A = this chain, B = another copy of it.
Amino acid sequence: MEHTQLPKGFYSCAKRLGIKDDTPDFTVIYSETRAAAAAMFTKNQFCGAPVTVGKEHIKDGFLQAFVINSKNANVATGNQGIQDVHTIIAAVAEELTISPEDILPSSTGVIGVPLPVQKIIDGIPGLRGELKKDGLKDSAEAIMTTDTFAKYRSEEIDGVTLCAIAKGSGMIEPNMATMLSYIMTDAQIEPETLKAVLKRAVDVSFNMVSVDGDTSTSDTVAAMANGLAGPVDLEKFEQVLTDMLVSLAKDLARDGEGATKLVEVQVDGAKNDNEAKAMMKSIINSPLVKTAIFGADPNWGRIISTIGNAEYPIEPKKVSVAFGNIPVFSGGEPAESNLEDLESYLEGDEIVISISLGDGPGKATGWGCDLSYDYVRINGEYTT
């Protein structure tokens, strides 16, 4: 995964501005030409100040830079928060001689604490000279909060390059968007097309992940396509983008706060995909299921209980449940399985739970993680 080169015409830099500690906390990702752009944002009604501004700036379908800080979300910070965003993007726009309206700002970190805006402003002069072609990994590192590893991908499609970075570890239940993810390509794609492709890819990737059922105030996924490598086979592009975002989504789940295991939940036989997705989410978010998986406890009755709480009718006798290839329940009765096989399967670090409802063609696959002592530790002492 050491392809850290950005697509043609893209440059980035990452800095340590001391927003909270001395880790990388600020990045600018810049395209030398204005790029077709699309973005999706959190549905949280207390969205962050940068989200409010970013929604305005994406409206015309073009951007030239992403400006992102970690360690402070600039959320619930009132009018001062909005002013702080404008101060920062004005400074970046002047440094890069681009329009402030072509900048999409993002912030991620603690909520309700004023942004230390002066520290950021002080870091901007001279930033143009630090931009580099191979900055993909550095940018991925600069947007991390409680993440334990940088999440980035790069692929070639017939001479076109597609790169993406993502962050997210806690407060993860994306709703039509995700935590932070940025996609850069030199493919030539119209804004409206980019938006449609992005939405479809996000729906089966980031929107299928949940770490703790809480939708963040800062979720943003944004893409820039600057066209410098010419046109691309759109079908191929969408497939590669979708695979890339699914892969990053699984990284988010695997790196969920305190996680020791990646959990994949596959639901089929629901009346429709929405009902399958709702069932998937309820399993992936159940603290009882998550703690049992952490403890490798073969307590599959908790899956049954969660299924039974569906808001739509279930026929218990048609339901079957398996862990990996080990059936545990079918036809209204416990399956004849070896409990020891199940226990040893649960000791693994990737757990697949499959549920068939036997009621229709609806299906969904999603990802989450277990609930460990470390989740409690990380979230019991987050700000202090």
CB within 8 A of A379: which of B215, B291, B304, B307?
B291
Stretch at the interface among A13-21, A53-61, A132-140, A327-335: A327-335
The count of identical subunits is 2
Stretch at the interface among A226-234, A242-250, A308-316: A308-316
* B304 in contact with A111 (CB, 8 Å): yes
CA distance A171 to B199 in the complex (A): 36
**Subset of 27 A-B contacts with CB under 8 Å:** A43-B309, A44-B305, A44-B308, A45-B307, A45-B309, A46-B305, A46-B314, A76-B334, A78-B334, A79-B332, A111-B304, A112-B301, A112-B304, A112-B329, A212-B286, A212-B288, A213-B286, A217-B304, A288-B379, A291-B376, A291-B380, A292-B379, A292-B382, A294-B376, A295-B379, A295-B382, A298-B384
Stretch at the interface among A23-31, A150-158, A367-375: A367-375
Shortest distance in angstroms between A200's beta carbon and chain B's nearest beta carbon?
24
CA distance A369 to B381 in the complex (A): 17
* B383 in contact with A286 (CB, 8 Å): no
Chain A 196-220, CB-CB to B under 8 Å as 1, else 0, gives 0000000000000000111111000
Known contacts A77-B334, A343-B384, A373-B376, then 20 further A-B pairs from the complex at CB < 8 Å, ordered by chain A residue: A43-B309, A44-B309, A45-B308, A45-B310, A45-B313, A75-B305, A76-B301, A76-B304, A110-B301, A111-B299, A113-B301, A171-B305, A214-B309, A288-B379, A291-B375, A291-B379, A292-B379, A295-B380, A297-B379, A299-B382
Is A99 an interface residue, CB under 8 A from the partner? no
Is A352 an interface residue, CB under 8 A from the partner? no
Interface residue tally for chain A (C-beta within 8 Å) = 68
* B78 in contact with A308 (CB, 8 Å): no
Is A7 an interface residue, CB under 8 A from the partner? no
Chain A 111-128, CB-CB to B under 8 Å as 1, else 0, gives 111100000000000000
Give me the 4 closest cross-chain CB pairs, A-B, nearest first: A295-B380, A111-B301, A46-B308, A291-B379
Chain A 48-72, CB-CB to B under 8 Å as 1, else 0, gives 0000000000000000000000000
Interface of A (DSSP majority class):
loop
Is A170 an interface residue, CB under 8 A from the partner? yes
* B334 in contact with A295 (CB, 8 Å): no
Is A306 an interface residue, CB under 8 A from the partner? yes
Is A323 an interface residue, CB under 8 A from the partner? no
